[in-house]
Amino acid sequence: MSKGPLLAAILAGATVALVVIGTVWPVPSAVAYAGSGSLLHSSSSPEEAVANLGDEIRAQAWDKAYASLANKAQFTEPEFVHDLTGYYPSLLTYTTLDKFEVRPIHASADDAEMELKLHWATVVGSSVSTRDLHVVRNGDHWEPEWPIVKEPMVPPQVIAVNYLRWDVIYRGPGDDWGAQDVETPHVRIVDMHPIERADGVVILGELLNEDVVPAYVSVTATLLSKNQSPMATEGSFDKISHVLLPKQVTPFFIKFANVSLSDVGSIRMTPLSALVAATADPVIEIGNQELHPDPDASLTGQLINQSGQVVNVAHVLGTFYDKSGKVVWIADEYVDQALLPQTPVPFEIHIPEDLARDISTQRTVVATYSFGGSQ
């Protein structure tokens, strides 16, 4: 006898039972996200006050979050929201708060210092920002003060931009068989070597656009075994600056998880390039670059948009070299706020601690994306 109908009946019954249980006795978080309840606890301690604020930010309950602040007279609710999600379209505009952590720094009877670490889920991965909050007692409860960072204002002005722009016209479908098409940009891998890490093999390298036109580039690597049979193929994905202007160099980083370098006989590298319409604007200065040794080894600096165009997303790629000039690591970071003209924005790229001591110099490049066009 077929057991299918019996199984279907059991599954249907279990589904109905779970729906009834979830409706009659919902968990608090579900009620909160459904909008008819709250996850909030009483703000009887500084930690609870900041945790409540984190919950309200995660639920995007901006009015409640703003109302809970002790210093709301210093700024408006839109300014508070913009401080969290960006004044101009940026990575944070399309993000949600995944989780947060609250850590006490200092507390007294009437006030406290708390650290609120916000883990944002962005389209390019997790982005973490940290705010130090002053929390004050107000009667029987505590209220956090939001450390507002007001967006620097760019004075109204006209900035003349006359950098080059390249457009591409390809051959048409009716052209003769032997008719020429526009030449694909010539690119060259100027450095490449694999390294072994705990979680697999990583290929580090640099790619040069040696042509006089912009190129859209990517790099693919295929690991070949000792008998020259393909083991795996991976691409650089976003660990590369995809648009290269003439004579520009980008690092690239290709990871093969769960592969041992001792099993690899050789590596086949395939750089890909295509003509792309591009502009030489904007120019980004990467200032105050500093290498910080371990612990928490990192490269810090600031991006300064020297052009008149707002850059919505900036992707910073750092190439780290040892004393002999060999690439020892490549790391990147997306900057989660828009770059306004002439306004410095900090960045921090973390470096694995076991490699930090080998690093002597670095080279940083930045890829920028503006809504309505990219470079």
Q: Which residues bind another protein (CB under 8 A)?
A: 162-164, 166, 176-178, 180-183, 190, 208-214, 245-249, 280, 283-290, 301, 306, 363-365
Count CB atoms within 10 A of the CB of residue 291. 18
- Biggest alpha carbon distance in the chain? 85
Nearer to another protein, 107 or 249 (CB): 249
In 3D space, the residue among 61, 17, 23 whose CA is nearest the CA of residue 39 turns out to be: 61
Nearer to another protein, 118 or 245 (CB): 245
* Residue 250 beta carbon to another protein: minimum distance, rounded to whole angstroms: 11
In angstroms, the Cα distances linking 33 to 17, 39, 60, 133 are 22, 9, 10, 25
* Residue 167 beta carbon to another protein: minimum distance, rounded to whole angstroms: 13
* Residue 190 beta carbon to another protein: minimum distance, rounded to whole angstroms: 6
* Residue 360 beta carbon to another protein: minimum distance, rounded to whole angstroms: 12
Nearer to another protein, 5 or 178 (CB): 178
Q: How far apart are CA 87 and CA 92, in angstroms?
A: 10
Nearer to another protein, 101 or 210 (CB): 210
Nearer to another protein, 39 or 249 (CB): 249
Nearer to another protein, 52 or 375 (CB): 375
* Residue 344 beta carbon to another protein: minimum distance, rounded to whole angstroms: 11
In 3D space, the residue among 255, 272, 164, 167 whose CA is nearest the CA of residue 218 turns out to be: 272
Q: If you write DSSP's letter for every residue of 231-279 in order, what string do you get?
A: EEEEE-TTSB--EE-TT-EEEEEEEEET--GGGEEEEEEEEEEEE--EE
* Residue 346 beta carbon to another protein: minimum distance, rounded to whole angstroms: 13
- Using an 8 Å Cβ cutoff, are 66 and 53 in contact? no
User: What b/e readout covers 234-255, taking b as 16+ CB neighbours within 10 angstroms?
Assistant: bebebbbbbbbbbebbbbbbbb
- Using an 8 Å Cβ cutoff, are 201 and 261 in contact? yes
